[in-house]
Structure 1
Amino acid sequence: MSEITPDVAEDYSQIVVDTPPSSADDSSKLAGQTIEQTEKSNGEEAATAPAVKVLFPRLGGNAAASASGNAVSWGSTLKSGSSVNSVSSLSHGKNGRASSPGSAKPLRSRNIQEVFSLDLDAQYQITKTEFSSIVQSVKQKYDVSVESTLSKTSRTFLISGSSDKIGLAKRELVKKLTKPVNVTFEVPSKTRSAIIGSGGKTIRAISDAAGVKIVVPKEVDEGTYDSDLEDYSVTISLHGDAESVLVAKSKILDVVKEETKNAKIVLPVEDSKLVPFIDLESVEIPADVKAQLFTNNDPAEIALNGPRDNVKLAKVKVINYLNELGLKIVVKKEKVPFKFHPLVKPSELNEKFHVEVQAPSISGDDQFVFIGSSDNVNEAIVYAKNSSKFHTVESLEISKAHGKNVKHAKNLILYFQKYNVLDQITEDFPQVQVVLPKVESIPALESVSITLISNNDAADAIKTVRKQIVALVNELSPEQTLTISDLDYHLFHKDIKQILVSTESDVPFIQLGDCFPGNDDILLITKINEDDFKPSDDELKVKLESVNQQLEPIRKKQSLLASNVVSLAKKEQDELLGESKVTLNLINEAVSHAGAHALIKLSTPSVNQITIRGDDHGCKIASAAVKSIVENSSTESKITFQVPTNVVSRLIGPKGANLQQIREKFDVQTFIPQDSKDENTDVTLTGLQYNLDQAKTYILAEAKKWSDIITKELIVPMKYHRTLSGPQGTYRIRLENKYSVFIRFPKDSELVTIRGPSRGVKAAYDELKALLDFEIENGHKELLKVPVDYVTRVIGKSGETINDIKAEYGVELNFLDKTDSEKAKEAGEVELEITGSRSSIKEAANKVKSIIDQASNFETVTLEDIDSKYYSDIIGRSGSQLKEIISKAGGDEIRNKRVNIPDASSEDKVITIFGPSDFVKKVVKQIKGVVSGLENSITEELNIPQEKFGALIGPAGSVRRELETEFKVRIHVPNKNSSDEKVTVSGSPANIESCKKKIEKEIIRDSFDLEIAVPAKYHSYVSNSGLIFQTLRNEFSIDVSHGNLTRTAQSLSRANYKVPENVAGGENESSNVLIQSVTETEAKVDTIPWRLTYSPIDLSDVLGEDYKKDEESKDQVLEKASKLIEDRIAEAKLVNTEGFVWSKDAKKFNSIVGPNGRNIREIRNATKTVIHVPRKSDKVNNVIYVLGSEEGVKKAAELICKRLK
């Protein structure tokens, strides 16, 4: 029998929590509020207790005063309609002391008071003396004052004393004065674990807070099984005072409601042919039920999730739908001649007729399977047949070539497929489809054919394709191939491939083991250069052998392996070690278990021999096993051994499952008597001797392990099953593999079982329990009511706000109802469920409340007294002014805001501002401030040269926009072609003056570090088509400008040259060079100013302070840059020649440029020339231009021509 180690939670399967019962007045909510909190027995502050505690006057009115200073009478002056609710409305300070409505400051007494009532029906019948004795004992024991008053139906008590004693005193009074009651009710058995909680935490909290005894039975109630809920019921018993029992019951039912509100039902789709046709959207199921089809499972499954009642309804509808669908779907088989197989296109038929088509998977099979509705299947078959009438299909038997060499033809098919040899033909003739035999069918082919398919109107194209394939096959003679068979594919295929890849461009190769398991052949094929004569057969042989020789290192490695050959008839090989037999797998497992390697090859090197190859240890193990099989080849051998009787049941397994597994694993017959009364039981095995020995070893090892097998149970609420199991069971599988145990998560029970060796079970249990505790700790829930009007604000645009809250606080947020539901419309609010840890829930709830508070504070203000001429100024250039207004008003942090300013020409003359009140007020104030400033503004003209207009405007108007924003002015810059050449600034006098100073000092002033005058005629060479500017920027952090001659400089930098007409070579020439003297052209100006500005980038934050210490000074950098430019000017003076290099194939220019321009940069540096490589889009794009000295141009042309070859 198996040992069962109970879970900690199992102690609470029969829970009995006994706490003194109490009662409370039905007319007051005070008792319920008090019971709902766990009483603090360790002297915590009274402020943490939720019971109403007030500074109440003593009976008689002579010891205390009311908040207003008037005496308060007690007893007969209490109105009949009064209740404790009137007391509970008083507010409390942070320290639990009541604050009087008429007093500015709370009283500072350390004592507090509490009032409560007990029904007379709930109390014991005792005498006044006994009652006084009880009250007196409580007063003395807890040092409190107790007073009471009696009415017709209840007795009201007033307890005064220190905060840590009042609760205890009240508990003592309730316990001694009231009578307990018993209440029973039923709940689903699946909810027991949730009611009990982790380690009894939940049930203990309910019991302590309510002060009742709670009994949760372990056994379910007979006859209570609900097939829809797939669960039994259990009866929970409560014992305590009436009010506390009701509170406890309510709390338990809340837990039950939470646990059972949703359900999941999984329906298996037993008929696999229905799966492709299932359309769950067509099934009318409730909107709040989510239906998903999982096709990866076997069988496929339909999962239904949602409210329990709706899920059950959806289940019925889905079952009916599947039954109806099963009646519609038919399966038909249709024979299709082999040559027409390519014309049957499953994807096309599925798209047109919604029919699944399965092509034959076995060589020689010509039957296609059509699955779908009867009409659709018939139409699909007719369509497939008709399509063959519009196509021409020809079969080209390439195995007739080269003396009907079928083996060579098969090799060619593999070559064509691996290297896509026929792609060029199919690209040239797209109307012809070329179909090669499938790789898996090649070994069984007696002849090899290629199928050609085209439309009937493309018959000529088929003939052309046929001729080209025939020519290609004829060219690839058997002499161009070499088959290598002496290397073991299984052991060395990776090494072989690594070597042959290096010569693949010249000698392609195919490892047949990639296509056909167990095949060691390697096929080498030589390519023949089309631009050269075909080599002789001997030359081809030498080329192939040279590649073969590269495999010699592998042959040497193979020769070092141990090898053994055992003789065994082919028939016996197939019977004992064939693919369908388990013996070969057992031998391989034995070798692997020993950490060795060995390969067993049947019918090698001859039909009646077996080759064993591997390392020494592996070869010895495998050879011994094979020799044992050869010597004892009978399958009727028997062995008997004993196992402990107490493990026989596990050995057999449920319904013999384990025993059947052993039979299949070892291919043996077993006999185990089940009525043995001895300590040990005989086990008899029949089969091949080697298999028997392996089975015996396995069974004895398992028996030893089973003797230590235990089962442990963990109560896991159903809602945590998926989390603990992990996606697709990954967490469960990890634990099972890690601890060698079996973990079962039942679909209809909360008891998760862990079974295996005791040590592994304990470790897996602890890890699983820790994960469960974590999930429970972070699975608290709280409901927050959100007004319907603010739900969209909480969700945010595209869920952005609610997703941010989830991510920031690590909680789950879920609205339990839709805003358009009847319940939400009636209540005006919906419930938001927040799930997470207690602290996270509190923070997330505060965040949601702040969003609601902010949303409720929104308002809309309109401005109708603003002149429309000021609208553009309020908006600003590109909206800059309005953006600044919104930003200053705090609008950057407000998502839902709006400032609408109509067009000046619009009939609508109202500015509308919407948002939080504070934001709206600030925006209105700023807009009025802008208008006020504009009404008092002036306009002043500035004398700025036209060439400085660009600097004033800046890139995309950025400089002007910054000035307008900074100084609150409007700047008008006229067009350069305008007769009005004055820049105007509008605004207040002070702002205009500040703006003018900044323009004059920082913007239009020439600012550079060094100026070099470069002769205009040398500018093109010095700039090197703009490359020198990149060098100065990248290597020296220097920017170059040219003042008001920027356009002239840019024009001179471009490669302006005219290509001679006679530069092109002849028809038989691939390139040509033309060199001539340079003709000087007059420039419009004498010199171009090169203004250098040093703008270093501070990388010390990235590279450290050491980098900053090693950085060169500004003067040093400028000196180096100046020398570079002057050296270029000196080189430019030697320029007297230009060259033109023409190429027949302009695509080769890429080799001139090289990766990242490396090649052309090397040529430029070596020859001190300017080289321009044309773009594809240039008018003349096949001529490279070279400029420099005569010697440099010739050398550059020579280098370019070499690379073009």
Structure 2
Amino acid sequence: MSVPIFKDFHKHIIGKGGANVRKIREETTTRIDLPGEGSGEDKILVTGKKANVEKAVAQLTQIQNELASIVTLDLTIPAKIHSRLLGGGRRLVQDIQDECGGVQIRFPPEKSNSDKVTIRGPKDDAARAQKLLMDLANDRELSSFEDSVTAKAEFHRFLIGKGGSKIKKVRESCPDVRILFPRESDKDQETIHLIGRKEEVAQIKKHLEELILHLNEIVEVTTDVPAKWHKHFVARGANVLREIQDQNGGVSISFPRQNAQDTKVSIKGSKDCVEGAKQRIAEIVADLEAQITIKADIPAEYHRTLLGNRGQKVQDICAKYNVQIKFPDRETREAGGNHEEASGDGPSVLNTVSISGRLENCESARTALQACIPITEVAEVPFEFHGNLIGRSGETVRALMQNYDVSISIPPADQQLNEIKISGQAESVKDAIAEIGRRVDEFKLGAKDRELRMFQLTVQVPPEYHQRLIGPRGQKINQMRAKHDVQISIPKQAEGEEPNENVVITGYEENAHKCKAEIEEMVNELKNLFVQEITLDARIHPRLIGAKGRSIRKVMDDYHVDIRFPRSTDPDPNLVTVTGKDEDSVYNCIDHLRELEEEFSQDIGGGSYMSHRTEEPEVAQKQAPLQMVNAPWQVPDTNNMSDFPAMGAGAVGAPSGANGVWGGQRRF
């Protein structure tokens, strides 16, 4: 998701050293990408799981709302004018947004025919944008003349002037005319758009054309540059020379031939561009004349680290302080490695880094370079928290190293040390140690909480009540666990061992005592119940219970009792227990069960269950073997006529008076 945050607030979103945005990333487990400083874009992109992204967007919006009093203003602007205001790639609207602190101006969809326009931003900026937009809309109704001027892209900076001084002077005569220069994202980088009243636009256009004509006037001047500095401009592919040309409209700069003693340098191009290039050359020469070289003592073991990533850190320091930094070359390293030479009492040649430039710049560059030297600090982290700091598969410690650009070394577990080592730049190491300290405090609080949750109590519950404590499918004990936020451990009864009555409750002390009191109260109630055991034929137990226990539940509800059937491991499969609060209910239920037993026993043919179960196996073996006669697959004897019965009147045993196989005629 992308969330619009006013450009002025981005630095507050980032925080000192990136602390704020880093905190939001860690809390929401998201990736937060902010636009570059010079991009002009105000939207921040948040990537991650949907719930986490929504949480991060809410935090970013909250920060913005806290930084300024954000208001939303609704304006009514006729829909027919919207296209005029939004023409030219929203140049007018974008210009107003930039001028008013980056407020957000929302127009309705193109085909909605709605007149409602919304402005959102800080109160003062939104009010100023409202006035500018309404003035522009009113002016559009009177006049919407638009014209343009074409100028080379390299001339635009001269038309605008330093800090916009020149373009402000141009606008003074016609303040209602909008002058729109191309943006970096525009394909056309030469066209300057003018919008306003026709006569005022014509006046501004004429003034700009005069300035552009003046810029197009080709002049040629010369300047003196000492021969010893020529190499600085043309060395390394003439990078310095090309930079001057690019910054000054592509002027042509010609240096004398190499080894010539001529000091004249020729500059050719438009007048303003030539003057700008000449001034820049003079500044560079002045820096070179004032240039000195100082030494910085940087241990050789850190040179590779500083020059890592293609020397990006060193290049940034050079550009920032306008200096040149030179590390020992290979020959120097080999010589220094063989002889360990040192210049007087100074540092070894292996550790000497040269910095050239103005004195004040060299000192600042040396300080910045030394600040990049990695250091190693030791942080106190109790051994018991090392696993928490490492995280699952090392993800926590990797995130710390990535966020703070440091290396974290955690000692092996067998050493059980209460410290870890953090290596990196001094500032980064300091921030990383502070973050680790904060996390250790959180781990300690968590460990203390876990210790409090491990309080245990033991309550005596007779084994015969364990099943009642558990309840059907563990429903009762699960409810008790959730109610008191505890763990309840019921001992298993192993065959051949003495019954164990100890039920263990684990949790916060207060919760454990409350749970114990509830269990003891339940046990006391169970002890006061009237219990009666009866013998019911095990073959009818399924009939008594019914499908999914519906039948037996109805009996228990009718008589307000509890009925327990034997388990497969019980010695007596016929023993059933009936429990109730009073004797009458229990005995009435038993009478009802006896009636059901008698009824169901008739259905299964009667007989004693025990006699059926205790029949000797020898009796079954003495029974006659099973014989099968007249089966369809047995072939009849064709010589025996008795196997083929006669049909009709002649049949043996045929009823008298029978006429044929179908019998005689029926009379009605």
TM class by smaller structure? 0.3 to 0.5
TM-score by length of 1: 0.22
Higher percent of residues as helix: 2
For normalisation by structure 2, the TM-score amounts to 0.35
